[in-house]
Chains A and B, each alone.
Chain A
């Protein structure tokens, strides 16, 4: 292989799309390492604390696109304290110094400040795309900086971030010379946005294909926008409440008639049922539909809409669609690949919105289904077995039975067999979340059959350490394991510590792991950062005072070559 000149190797390596493949290439020999590092354009860092930013920048000087992820996944559910970490600052600073040619930055679950955004905006003359997912720490001021200084910006995609509204009319900061926008998503913003500035911006960006509005944009404004951008492919509506006898409504239907390219719809904040009819003209071409923020729409209206969407590939809805509504989905959407059903009434008293019946219907009607997130009140082994038989192509299967430890209501048995059927049947399963009443047996199945599994989420499950050991022994490709409220302790944790260097991270909270166990782990594995998150400051215990038998409330460890981090707050102890 060393006979090939570098240019040829580089050319060949260029065809490798995935990060994993390129990483593998770089380990073959020094020459190939060099080729890869100098030609790598897109860099993915799954854990911002696994490596120092400077090292990444030095290794990949020609980097054009950087993706960094920060907090562990359970941070989404308030399990990680606010100032745990995941700061974007060192990354943006390092890249500003070392890779001024950067064009794209994607951050997930990180803390991004307005100063960070301003530095970003001023440091990269070719910057084209900013994607922030589940981030926090910035405000409309930071967005104003992006709008002002990023000439040639193509994409600003803000997904589900917590953004403070400082009242700054950031959208007006896009200069008149900005005509390059292709994608703009500000749906998560809580504040008002200058509607006429938006309309003018849309009018001067002929390449705009994706636009997602926040709820402050009225339907009147939407009409004007659609008139200017009839080539939109992906639209997130603003507020969607109108009187269906009004002129505005007629104009809206008209607008949608003209949007021949529309393939994806979302938003529908405050949508009332009859407003949905305005959207009927585009239904037959829709491939993506997200109605999960429209709690006022009940099953009958949902199904009237979805009944027209026979090309749908991705559907996100609330559970008020009901089992009957899911049956309509099953009979209409034969191309469906991804389904997410969210709970609409988290604090309710167990109203049966969707059950196992809805899922079974979907599985028999939609054989191409490969990705599922399903919140329901009950599930049976029989249903899961049927689903497994009908849909062997699952790559992502996340089932959340809302009541922890709920057994199969028909047989009163744990759901071990049902999930067992899923892992046996779905050979390509990469991500799995389990719930309901589960014993160690389900983990035996997972360890035995889920060979491609990369991410596993467990809550309120298992009987003993054996459960966790089955998983760690079996799942060769496991990268992320997150566990809460399970009876797994030190014995399981310490059984096979070498395994942990093959994984990105492990989270355990409210389990039986002790401080002594964590210390032992940290001692054996110097290349893991073992963090204990200790929030209950009432006792003012420092770690010297706590006995080794003290049960650890939250432990998060991850492999790293960067050593212990220097930005950890007081309540995080790195052992």
Chain B
């Protein structure tokens, strides 16, 4: 058993709760030297600025690990951008999320499946990290970091729109997310039949 490896991974710092995606924005408050502490930005913004500053958005902040110092403090009404514009940019993001590309993810041996939104990730690296996060309680070894999975416990595969089982990582990311129907994390022993195509 890889008990040592497991406990090492447990101590690894990550942003976000296990199994969740990385948070979209930092939620920190910085007190300026000499001036009063600045209230956190009211996410609900336009039309509801009466609310006090703590909201469900800020709850994430407690669970997050330390924010990088470069993260900006959020001040009410700063930067001075019209609510309309702020909401537009937000809405654009939200719309993108709503029209997400949700696919099921199964892992051999795990009792239940997960679902993830492929649109949230920028590339394969992020996807692997997220899957790592999600399934580490079940996994016993390292996830493959590169294409081809020689020597690893698991391989990440997917079922494409033709119904074929494919190895994740061969095609450009954009092409992948448009053709991926579901993901399957296979035990390495089963996956050797696939190998690298190149």
Contact = CB atoms under 8 A, between A and B. Distances in A.
A404 interface: yes
B79 A79 contact: no
A535 interface: yes
Interface in B33-57: 35-36, 42, 45-50, 52
Given A81-B50, A162-B47, A295-B92, A342 B32 contact: no
A342 B47 contact: no
B54 to A, nearest CB: 13
Given A77-B80, A77-B81, A78-B45, A346 B26 contact: no
Interface in A346-363: 346-350
Contacts of B82: 76-77, 134, 160
B161 interface: no
B77 A78 contact: yes
Interface in B116-157: none
Contact of B79 (A160, A270, A402, A484): A402
A375 B50 contact: no
Interface residues of B, number: 35
A197 B92 CA distance: 26
A350 B77 CA distance: 18
Interface in A125-169: 134, 136, 160-162
B78 A349 contact: no
Contacts of A190: 91
A375 B49 CA distance: 24
B80 A82 contact: no
A347 B93 CA distance: 13
Contacts of A538: 52
A160 B84 contact: yes
Interface string A188-208: 101000000000000000000
Nearest to B80: A77
B74 interface: yes
A542 B155 CA distance: 67
Most chain A CB neighbours (cut-off 10 Å) among B26, B79, B83, B88: B79
A573 interface: no
B175 interface: no
A346 to B, nearest CB: 6
Contacts of B78: 77, 404, 459
Given A162-B46, A347-B24, A405-B32, A79 B76 contact: yes
A402 B46 contact: no
Given A82-B49, A162-B84, A74 B77 contact: yes
A346 B89 contact: yes
Nearest to B78: A404
A78 B72 contact: no
Contacts of B50: 81-82, 535
Contacts of A460: 32, 35
A261 interface: no
Contacts of A487: 35
A535 B77 CA distance: 15
A298 B53 CA distance: 34
B68 interface: yes
Interface in B79-125: 79-86, 88-89, 91-92
B48 A347 contact: no
B70 interface: yes
A375 B79 contact: yes
Given A346-B79, A347-B24, A402 B85 contact: no
Interface in A452-488: 457, 459-460, 484-485, 487
B32 A78 contact: no
B25 interface: yes
Contacts of A349: 26, 68, 70-72
Contacts of B75: 404
Interface of B: 24-26, 32, 35-36, 42, 45-50, 52, 68, 70-72, 74-86, 88-89, 91-92
Given A270-B92, A347-B26, A404-B75, 10 more contacts: A79-B49, A80-B49, A160-B82, A190-B91, A349-B26, A349-B68, A400-B79, A400-B80, A404-B32, A510-B36
28 contacts: A76-B80, A77-B82, A77-B83, A78-B42, A78-B45, A79-B49, A79-B76, A82-B47, A134-B82, A134-B84, A160-B84, A161-B84, A270-B92, A295-B89, A295-B92, A347-B24, A349-B71, A350-B72, A375-B81, A402-B72, A403-B72, A404-B32, A404-B78, A405-B32, A457-B80, A460-B32, A484-B77, A538-B52
Interface of A: 74, 76-82, 134, 136, 160-162, 188, 190, 269-270, 292-293, 295, 342-344, 346-350, 375, 400, 402-405, 433, 457, 459-460, 484-485, 487, 510, 535-536, 538
